[in-house]
Amino acid sequence: MRVISGYLGGRVFAAPDSSRIHPMSEKVRGAIFATLGDVSGLRVLDLYSGSGALGIEAVSRGASEVLSIEVDPQAVRLINKNLIDLKINDKLRVINVRLEPWLKQKTKLFDLILADPPYDRVPTVLTLESISLLLKLEGLMVLSWPGNYELPQFKATNLLKIKNFNDAQVGFYRKQN
């Protein structure tokens, strides 16, 4: 795998060799960050991190801080190795934890939330609603979702844009009053 753009652009990092983790394609990652534009200085939450590619891309493009949440210990070890190899372990931190219990104890808010859940175990709308509450006012959430499901709506956010890909769609949400 490689970093698409930013100060780490072109750098290669290790991809998982597990069939349980399916990294997001460069095409979809590129489309997400092209739509987002400048992420400099943002506090980012990367959920269902898998390979860590979204968080690494955010750091490369100037995010000030990235917190990645991943339940698979093998994926967490790989992300940590990549952080050391890319020398960004001071900007990106990964936590090995189940998301739902972690959400119940969080109060810190984020400028940008990236969520790429596994398509064979999509989270409940209640879990996604809890995730959206971690956004700062005017913050953005990007949700990768199976193409054959309708993108969910949340009370605290407005769905701004949908991008469709072969078997996936990506929803861009903004937190409103």
pLDDT over threshold 70, residue 124: yes
Eight-state DSSP code of residue 7:
T
pLDDT score for 18:
67
Q: Per-residue DSSP letters for 9-69?
A: TT-B-PPP--TT--PPPHHHHHHHHHHH---TT-EEEEES-TTSHHHHHHHHTT-SEEEEE
Measuring CA to CA, how many Å separate 80 from each of 11, 124, 136?
Answer: 16, 28, 27
The domain spans of the chain are 26-175
Using one digit for the tens of pLDDT, what is the confidence trace for 41-52? 999 999 999 999
Contact 39, 62 (CB under 8 A): yes
pLDDT over threshold 80, residue 112: yes
pLDDT over threshold 80, residue 113: yes
Token pair recorded at residue 136? 């700062």
CATH architecture type of domain 26-175? 3-Layer(aba) Sandwich (3.40)
Read off the pLDDT of each residue in 96-119 and give the average, rounded to a whole number. 91
Q: Which residues pair with 66 in a beta bridge?
A: 44, 92
| Cα 7 from Cα 145, distance rounded (Å) | 29
Using one digit for the tens of pLDDT, what is the confidence trace for 158-168? 999 999 998 88
Read off the pLDDT of each residue in 42-69 and give the average, rounded to a whole number. 96
Using one digit for the tens of pLDDT, what is the confidence trace for 128-156? 999 999 999 999 999 999 888 889 999 88
Token pair recorded at residue 41? 């200085």
